Amino acid sequence: MKRILIVVLAILLFDSCQKEKITIGTNVSETFYLDNNGESMRVLVEGNTLSRTFLIFVHGGPGASSYFYNTDYINYNIENKYAVVYWDQRNAGASQGNSNGSGLNLPQMTEDLKKVIQVIKYRYGQNSSIFILGHSFGGLLVTSFMTTDNYQAMVKGWIVVDGSHNYPLNDTLTRQMLLSVGQQQVALNNNTDNWNAIISYCNSHTGNFTLQESKQLESFASDAETYFNEVRQLSASDFETMAVNDSWPITSMLFNYIYSLNASINEQLAVTQFSTSLYKVTTPTLLLFGKYDFVCPKELGDDILNRINTTDKKMIISPISGHSMMFQDEALFCNEVNKFIELHR
């Protein structure tokens, strides 16, 4: 019995000393969990790791998931060229740990992103080219990263897709867009009941928005893009198919989302802005916004474009998308992302 126990212990010790297998190839799919300050965050790396070029998706929320971005179109049109890193932030997606309320804040999440980049470089080579892409709330997170110390030196470029870097400005721009477009649509006799309700709310809420007012504006903004035939509407069945095919951990995703939705971080974010720090950014920049994005209006992109301290910058407006260009204008999204990466990697 003792001999068997010794053998078992030796095997366990040997296994624990083995370096984790890292796959270098053109069609890779591997998942690992990154532990940092009380949270174990899911990271899925897919695509062409042989390229030594990695695009990190920084998802919206807080509390959403990178699972949503792992579409067949992105698989076939970006992952065939580069590796894509689908990172679930703390208290999001399939990430694990305690409720971790004290750790759910923007500075900590900025450090989490830094750690993701460090781990990718450790696993696949220090000479790897890293790009970060922030969508919606992810726009705030990547802007925090880019304006903290000299973190931007860790990446070759950053991409903001329908993202926010300044929540107070965001609320003001959303209200202005809802009001001006709503008035135009009422004049055209389009969805008048819906638009009149939005106009009435905007006229009675003019600034210094509370968190509740901000949430209501965001709700109206999400609805507004559905009133235009030009915008491709996202179907629940599309995500249901992805959920089944990719075995989404629905329970974990749901509980993480509900927790983050009601967490104190939202009060902090409501007054957070990085406009006055954007002068620090000297890294190549790509900004992608939808013409019909009321949640994060394209003027947020204008603010970034005018304030960053680099001439290597580009802004593209999709004429057919709202708040989710990567789903609503897939071809334009992938083409612009690929061109940007190829130019700067």
Q: Please list the alpha-helical segments (H only) found in the chain.
A: 2-17, 72-77, 106-124, 137-146, 167-187, 192-204, 211-224, 236-245, 250-261, 265-269, 299-307, 325-328, 330-344
Note the pLDDT tens digit of each residue in 164-177: 999 999 999 999 99
**DSSP code of 125?**
-
Do residues 120 and 144 make contact, with C-beta atoms less than 8 angstroms apart? no
Question: How far, rounded to the nearest angstrom, does the alpha carbon of residue 171 sit from its chain's CA centroid?
Answer: 19
Name which of 341, 323, 321 is nearest 331 in CA terms: 321
C-alpha dihedral sign at 224, 226, 232, 236: positive
Note the pLDDT tens digit of each residue in 51-71: 999 999 999 999 999 999 999
Predicted pLDDT of residue 100 = 59
Prediction pTM value: 0.92
Name which of 51, 43, 44 is nearest 25 in CA terms: 51
Residue burial 257-287, b: 16+ Cβ < 10 Å; e: rest: bebbeebebbeebbebbbbeebebbebbbbb
- Average the pLDDT over 288-300 and give the result: 98
Do residues 146 and 130 make contact, with C-beta atoms less than 8 angstroms apart? no
CB atoms within 10 A of CB 9: 10
The pair phi, psi for residue 136, each rounded to 5°, is 60, -120
Predicted pLDDT of residue 99 = 56
Q: Is the pLDDT of residue 3 over 70?
A: no
Tell me how long the chain is: 345
- Average the pLDDT over 153-165 and give the result: 98
Strand partners of residue 251: none
Give the separation between CA 209 and CA 240, rounded to whole angstroms.
35
The pair phi, psi for residue 288, each rounded to 5°, is -125, 120
What is the rounded average pLDDT for all residues in the chain?
A: 92
CB atoms within 10 A of CB 247: 8
Q: And the tokens for 324?
A: 């989710």
Predicted pLDDT of residue 251 = 86
Give the separation between CA 292 and CA 290, rounded to whole angstroms.
5
Cis amide bond preceding 319, omega within 30? no
Residue with tokens 């802005």: 273
Q: How confident is the model at residue 235 (pLDDT cuts 50, 70, 90)?
A: confident
Domain range list for the chain:
24-166+234-344, 167-231
* High-pLDDT (> 90) share of the chain, %: 81
Topology adopted by domain 24-166+234-344:
Rossmann fold (3.40.50)
Q: And the tokens for 224?
A: 């507004």
Note the pLDDT tens digit of each residue in 83-135: 999 999 999 999 987 655 678 999 999 999 999 999 999 999 999 999 999 99
Do residues 279 and 292 make contact, with C-beta atoms less than 8 angstroms apart? no
